[in-house]
Amino acid sequence: MNMSNLKLKFATFILFIFNLSISQTKIPPSLKQFEDEPVKYIGEITTDKKFYDGNLPHVNGASHYQIFRANRNHPSEPGKEGWTYNHQPYIAYWNGKFYVQWIQGKVHEHVPPTRTVLSTSKDGKTWSNPIVLFPEYELPTIIDGEDTIKAKTKAVMHHRMGFYVAPNGKLLSLGFYGFAANPKKAPNTGKGIGRVVREIKKDGSLGPIYFIRYNTGWNENNTNFPFYKKSNDKEFISACDSLLNNKLITLQWWEEDRSQNGFYPINPSIVFDGEKFVQLNEAGKAFCFYTTPDSVTVGLWKFGFAALSPDKGKTWTKIVQCKTLLPTGAKIWGQKTKDGKYALIYNHSPTKRNRFPMAILIGNDGHTFDKLYAVRGDVPPKRYMGLSKNPGVQYFRGIIEGNGDPPGNYLWVVYSVNKEDIWISRITIPITAEEKNEIDENFENIRDIIELDRWNLYKPAWGDIIISYDKKQGKCLQLKDEEPYDYVYAEKIFPASKSKTISFKFKTLSLPIGSVIEIEVQDQKGNRALKLTIDRTWMWFDIGSISTEPLKINPFEWNSVIIDVDCEKKHYTISVNNKKYKTKIPINDNPSVVERIIFRTGTYRNYVPLDVAEKGAPKTTGFENEDLPGSETKSKPIIFLIDDIKTSSKINEF
């Protein structure tokens, strides 16, 4: 019998002992009920692979802010050259401030040099330029099987945990220095150097870097930073000790560590396949957890693996794969929300390959989830080539239990886009896709867009959404866009109706030649009833197979628009500046109701390319695309004002 079989039999025996100990204690009701499938989706809605948002209903109240925009030649982070691989973000809220850290690589995934950077924000909307949190690390000569890593090669950072707020109030940030002999060998196989830690202090300064745990073969004598016990700060040592003793929190470390010396209560790669325990290399990755009403911990890993613990991570039920989830190789995030419900955020992908849409499942008990919505569907083009830079919105992480509680009724989640930009979304609680109240908004009582809880706002770093002031209209909503490969939008959901009157006013302060504003009315399945396209001279009504004569306007003055949509009669009428357009215009896509309006500084881009929709995005080699030209400087600004938006379900007669 070889060593791997002995290890598997030993791990199976340990799992048997753990389950035996569970059976001899008082069993929470949900433990037995859900041990064979800890998490399941029981809703009727499914994702449509032809659309980036899956044609799912949009969450009512999700604001998306870009924390970091990769830029090689004009970087916001330290150094003369920007790092264009940015991935694996983590978030905490501490001392009245948001903290987000993530890994950077110069160009590629798993190719040195790499480092970890940190950005902060008071409101989640405006973020500081990144600072280096864990710098590049120089390796000695390492012989790794058939491969040799020569001295002075840089380490490859890879970690599945970012922050820990200790019981004594200290904020710790952590990272992991690993290595990869080549890009095909990931640094998370247990062969790395070890995990490092440093304190983030209230004044923003950073404490020294220490190792908090070594991988096999590494110690104080052959590493570049001291062991944490060497610190002169007793409170810092106490914070590290409490972290090391928290078996639930440190289970996040297993993937890079894979120690079998008893530090971890389970080996998460030992999975029950329905008949027997098997070892799967893809299991046990990217652990997260939350607690159910009967104090059961639900543990989640990549690929939909899950297990339950009745004692805060000391013992676990068998790890199984949840059949009703449609995960990719990206992370799954789960948490309890402030209204007592539960949310899962991940790529609920029909192909199980495409890292979109950014979907959210909602349930009442932490085990069964019956609602499925799109948080965000937008996937802008990837600007920089790079090895294994999967396209899409991916690797979601919220605030782990114990790592802070931001004010307000929101769920905050960070993620990367195309593995090059870092974003954050704020989702209003209760999380729903419906709206009971008609729109009646003139923005006069709004001080900041943060107050627009039930709007869906999308703000890249080179864009802005603000409450502006106009001499004629007073306060209004302003969209500003200087992003050459993305847009800015504001979306508002309203009560579903077969017939709807929608009115608003708009004005452009800047609209460069060749650019357009688009205004769309849709249902919550993504069917596009109508689109207004505004350029410097005309308003167009063309969409799909619908083609009409344009209407001449002056977009640099305030324009008043009234639209009457009738889904039963399959047409709409429009009045601009109190003048009715000459004909009834057929609606597109034949929706049975209309439910949302979108104001956007660019063209519609929700269609997934046919080959990607059918087969899934291929694993990127990094060299199948050129870098997008002109992406490193701002474009001429589009500035668009919106005011006096109203809806009603009774059609006006002209």
Residue range 454-471, pLDDT digits in tens = 999 999 999 999 999 999
- Residue 285 pLDDT more than 90? yes
- Residue 84 pLDDT more than 80? yes
- Residue 10 pLDDT more than 60? no
Convert the pLDDT of each residue in 221-243 to its tens digit: 999 999 999 999 999 999 999 99
Per-residue model confidence (pLDDT) at position 71: 98
As beta bridge partners, residue 85 has: 105
Query: What's the rounded mean pLDDT across residues 397-418?
Result: 98
Query: What's the rounded mean pLDDT across residues 552-561?
Result: 98
Between residues 548 and 142, the one the model is more confident about: 548
Per-residue model confidence (pLDDT) at position 24: 47
Average per-residue pLDDT for the chain: 94
Element (H, E) at 363: strand 358-363
Backbone angles phi, psi at 496, to 5 degrees: -65, 140
Residue with tokens 């002109």: 630
Give the CA angle between residues 156, 174, 195 to the nearest 5°: 55
Any idea how long the chain is?
654
Per-residue confidence band for 7, with pLDDT thresholds at 50, 70 and 90: low
- Minimum mean pLDDT among 2-16, 42-56, 60-74, 425-439: which range? 2-16
Query: What's the rounded mean pLDDT across residues 155-169?
Result: 97
Give the CA angle between residues 91, 93, 97 to the nearest 5°: 115
- Residue 622 pLDDT more than 80? no
Convert the pLDDT of each residue in 119-157 to its tens digit: 999 999 999 999 999 999 999 988 877 678 888 899 999
**What percentage of the chain exceeds 70 in pLDDT?**
95
Question: What Å distances lie between residue 600 and 64, 486, 515, CA to CA?
Answer: 14, 10, 11
pTM over 0.85: yes
Per-residue confidence band for 5, with pLDDT thresholds at 50, 70 and 90: low
| Per-residue tokens: 437 | 């109240």
**What percentage of the chain exceeds 90 in pLDDT?**
88
Per-residue confidence band for 2, with pLDDT thresholds at 50, 70 and 90: low
Per-residue model confidence (pLDDT) at position 651: 54
Q: Name the burial class of residue 571, with classes exposed (0-12), middle (13-18) and buried (19+) by CB atoms within 10 angstroms of its CB.
A: middle
| Per-residue tokens: 162 | 């970012």
- Residue 18 pLDDT more than 60? no
Convert the pLDDT of each residue in 350-365 to its tens digit: 999 999 999 999 999 9
Using the Cα atoms of residue 642, residue 648, residue 649 and residue 653 in order, give the sign of their dihedral.
Answer: negative
Per-residue model confidence (pLDDT) at position 23: 46
Per-residue model confidence (pLDDT) at position 625: 78
Per-residue model confidence (pLDDT) at position 654: 35
User: How far from the centroid of its chain's Cα atoms is residue 401's Cα?
Assistant: 18
Per-residue model confidence (pLDDT) at position 50: 97
- Residue 20 pLDDT more than 80? no
